[in-house]
Structure 1
Amino acid sequence: MTSLSINLFLFAERAQFPGPARTVQMSETMHAKIHAKACAKAHTRTSRQNAGLPALSELGADFLLASRLQRLLWSLLPLTTLAIFSATYALRYYALLPVVILAHFIVSTTFTHDVVHGSAGAGKRTAEWLLFGMSLLLLESGHAFRHAHLYHHSHCLEDDDFEGSPARMSLLGALLAGPLYLPRHWLHAYRLTKRKDQRRWLLAESLAPIVLVSCAALLLSWSAAPLTYFGFMWFGSWLYPVTTAWLPHFKPDQSMLGHSRTLRGKIIPFLLCNLSYHLEHHLYPQVPSFNLPRLAEKLDPYFAERGVYPVKVV
């Protein structure tokens, strides 16, 4: 995409999403980041048009909006669940720790995911520090997540889409890819970006887990809680190939409506913080996760006309 076409695309986006909605959508970008996101959005828009689906402005620009309280509560969930983990450990309810850590893992990755797409309402500088902060909580690189995930959206399930590659593996293959997934994911992201400031973030976030785990080891005589937490997060990351690629994308076809699944229900989507609306997310990635259920209802007639039927869950 040439600079002229990018500028024309951004001009069209301004016309399509005026006012606060566009501010939320474009708040996180620098020039190079605008280039990457513009390419991803242009790819998504073209594919969506080829699938015969309307632009988001036709469905309702309010899908991009959220109240300040809603965004504040959403951003506090990772810290809230971390506090619950600490209290659960202190009270020695060890049997509950896997459940608590799973909830913490889901809300943390979902919030990071919204920051990556610029739908969390954070400004440019705030988004950089949020990604770094989430790196400390999740024991992985938030900036690597951003670069690799935006590339996944613009090159979904193509040969060079590392993040989507487990979708073409067997379940066993995706599970075996887990232990080395994050280091390979980081290398993929590092190769994608040539900007020095972004590579500095990536390098800092690659060193952070070493520092944190070392500090947790030093604190072991006082409390095993930090090391237990980091152990849960590290082993949990082994499931990324299955949970982020194999399950939502397994056995894809080449069509825009066939490369992702969508799950509909009340309990499962709620427990997964709406990450189960994966097809809707790929079609309209700028929509915040907490607005995906409303968007899904709006898309149901279009899906039915095109023979796309969501998977029903509880």
Structure 2
Amino acid sequence: MNHLELIKKVEWKDLKSLSIKEMLIENNISLPWLIISLFLAYKNYYWAALPFSGFYFLTALRQVHNGFHNSLGTGKFLTWLSLYLNSMSMMTSIHAVKFNHIRHHKFCLSEEDYEGKSASMKWYEAILYGPKHMFLIHWITFKKANKNYRKNMILELISISVFVMIVFYFRINFLLYHIAVMFFGEFLMAFFAVWTVHHDTHENPNIARTQRGFWKNKLTFSMFYHMEHHLFPAVPTIKLPKLAERIDQVLPELNKRQTF
């Protein structure tokens, strides 16, 4: 069964809308983790700050990912602002990531899918590929994106550069820590955000890997419901557990490859 047949069998359109509570969660889910990580780093508790920084990176990725698909429940400007501010805090142009992610859905694991290049690698190759992956994301945006994407990317890269220069000039140690951890997270994106959910799925790319298990999905903030996301990209992350239940009920015979 291909992904188009799957889509016809599962009710999903009612899951697109968000309540006010759900909208507030999706738009602010990363904020507590950022505040706690920065506070602990400010107090020089860097090792204690590290897991909170990791959860910040993961939840910020969830937030911008919903923004890519206009699933934050907010208007155009607030979605843009979310992507811009998270670019500043995540140390990469999120609009460049968005451009390549939309292409990833359109050309999934084909030659034109630059985001998905690491899916065909071995796990350790995907880790080593990380820095090149981040460079390529920006380069492809510069070469192939329209004027609006390029303008947003340049604005974000300039803003990041100014922020980094200020932090280095004034030697703001807790922000130096944050910058270093965010760059490290970005270099692992080719492994965690691509390889883990797409390796060995080239025969049917839109049937990506997924994750079952209550605690696994709680600890990863539902970010590994990737099959569900590829089949129904308009569904916000907060609704993916419900979507997964529906898929399991309607298509129990579907071979769901686990992420981990």
Q: State the AA in 2 paired with 1:118.
A: N
- Which structure has the greater CA radius of gyration? 1
SS in 2 for 1:305: coil
Following TM superposition, by how much is the alpha carbon of 1:81 offset from its aligned partner in structure 2, in angstroms?
A: 1.5
- 2:199 paired residue number: 250
Following TM superposition, by how much is the alpha carbon of 1:312 offset from its aligned partner in structure 2, in angstroms?
A: 8.6
- Whether 1:48 aligns to 2:6 is no
SS in 1 for 2:235: coil
Q: State the AA in 1 paired with 2:221.
A: C
* Structure 1 residues without counterparts, runs of 5 or longer: 1-46
Task: Give distance in 1, aligned partners of 2:150 and 2:54.
Answer: 30
- Whether 1:289 aligns to 2:244 is no
- 2:20 paired residue number: 68
Task: Give distance in 1, aligned partners of 2:120 and 2:250.
Answer: 27
Q: Deviations over 1:207-243 (max 9, x none)?
A: 22221111111221xx301111001001111101101
Following TM superposition, by how much is the alpha carbon of 1:296 offset from its aligned partner in structure 2, in angstroms?
A: 0.2
- 2:158 paired residue number: 207
- Whether 1:271 aligns to 2:219 is yes
1:86 aligned residue (38, 60, 77): 38
Following TM superposition, by how much is the alpha carbon of 1:94 offset from its aligned partner in structure 2, in angstroms?
A: 2.3
Of the two structures, which has the highest relative contact order with CA contacts closer than 8 Å and spacing of 6 or more? 2
Q: Deviations over 1:26-47 (max 9, x none)?
A: xxxxxxxxxxxxxxxxxxxxx5
Following TM superposition, by how much is the alpha carbon of 1:257 offset from its aligned partner in structure 2, in angstroms?
A: 5.7
Following TM superposition, by how much is the alpha carbon of 1:250 offset from its aligned partner in structure 2, in angstroms?
A: 0.7
Following TM superposition, by how much is the alpha carbon of 1:294 offset from its aligned partner in structure 2, in angstroms?
A: 0.4
Aligned pair in 2 of structure 1 residues 294, 212: CA closer, same or farther (>3 Å)?
same
1:112 aligned residue (47, 64, 70): 64
- Whether 1:280 aligns to 2:228 is yes
Aligned pair in 2 of structure 1 residues 214, 256: CA closer, same or farther (>3 Å)?
closer
- 1:311 paired residue number: 258
Q: Describe how 1:1-314 pairs up with structure 2 within 5 A.
A: 48-49=3-4, 52-55=5-8, 59-194=11-146, 196-220=147-171, 223-255=172-204, 258=207, 260-306=208-254, 308-311=255-258
Contact persistence 2:109–2:117 (CA under 8 A): yes
* Structure 2 residues without counterparts, runs of 5 or longer: none
How does the TM-score come out when normalised to structure 1?
0.77
Q: State the AA in 1 paired with 2:32.
A: T
Q: State the AA in 2 paired with 1:255.
A: N
Q: State the AA in 1 paired with 2:36.
A: I
> Percent same amino acid at aligned positions?
26
Task: Give distance in 2, aligned partners of 1:301 and 1:76.
Answer: 31
Stretches of 4+ moved more than 4 A in 1? none
Following TM superposition, by how much is the alpha carbon of 1:253 offset from its aligned partner in structure 2, in angstroms?
A: 3.1
CA RMSD of aligned residues (A): 2.0
